[in-house]
Amino acid sequence: MSYSVLLIFGPIRGVCKRREIGLCFPVIVVGLVAFMCGAPVCSGATIEIYPATVDSAEEFENKANSLGPGDELVLRAGTYSQNGRRAVTAKGTADKPIVIRAAETGKALLTRPADNIDRHNNIEFVDCSHLIVRGLRFQGGSCGVRFIRGDHVTFEQCEIFQTGNNALTMNSGG
């Protein structure tokens, strides 16, 4: 971090030391923007969604599958329920991971309707790479959360409960 800060703020010290005040402000602004956008947070779009109950496809699945490197999907508090298979493929990069998270940890719940809560897995993450899943709750499903193939996946501050079989599975094949 010190190295990055020196590279960005080094010119500020030189310009402002010579008392070229007119140049200080633009250099500071450009330096701060460059510093902030070097972080993965600034590198993609942030998409917020709200709960919905839909018979087959839902907004969560559609939005999650459209994410690109550096994008962030934020789920607002509430229940996201879906009858059919819920599968997500998200491919970020090492310097621009994809983040799928709750706006407030533990307040977004992904579940299945009571009449088929154990018929399908609650959610499958298929062939994902450089993905961070944070702060979500998963209720029900034959398996609560299943990862099928993938690499560099972080699953943190999540809760999986009331599943028909396994809470979490990770498979190298289909």
Q: Are residues 124 and 155 in the same domain?
A: yes
Q: Are residues 111 and 162 in the same domain?
A: yes
Q: Are residues 120 and 67 in the same domain?
A: yes
Q: Are residues 75 and 52 in the same domain?
A: yes
Compute the mean pLDDT over every residue in the chain, rounded to the nearest whole number.
79
Q: Are residues 7 and 67 in the same domain?
A: no
pTM: 0.73
Q: Are residues 55 and 127 in the same domain?
A: yes
Q: Are residues 31 and 67 in the same domain?
A: no
Q: What is the pLDDT of residue 85?
A: 85
Q: What is the mean pLDDT of residues 45-51?
A: 94
The number of folded domains in the chain is 2
Domain with 17 in it: 2-38
Q: Are residues 107 and 49 in the same domain?
A: yes
Question: For 25-29, 74-78, 169-173, which range has the lowest pLDDT when averaged over its residues?
Answer: 25-29
Q: Provide the pLDDT confidence category of residue 113 given band limits of 50, 70 and 90.
A: confident
Q: Are residues 30 and 103 in the same domain?
A: no
Tokens of 169: 């599975």
Neighbours of 50 (CB within 10 A): 13
d(CA 128, CA 115): 30
Q: What is the pLDDT of residue 11?
A: 38
Q: Are residues 26 and 66 in the same domain?
A: no
**pLDDT, tens digit, 9 for 90 and up, residues 58-91:** 789 999 999 999 999 999 999 998 888 899 999 9
Q: Are residues 166 and 106 in the same domain?
A: yes
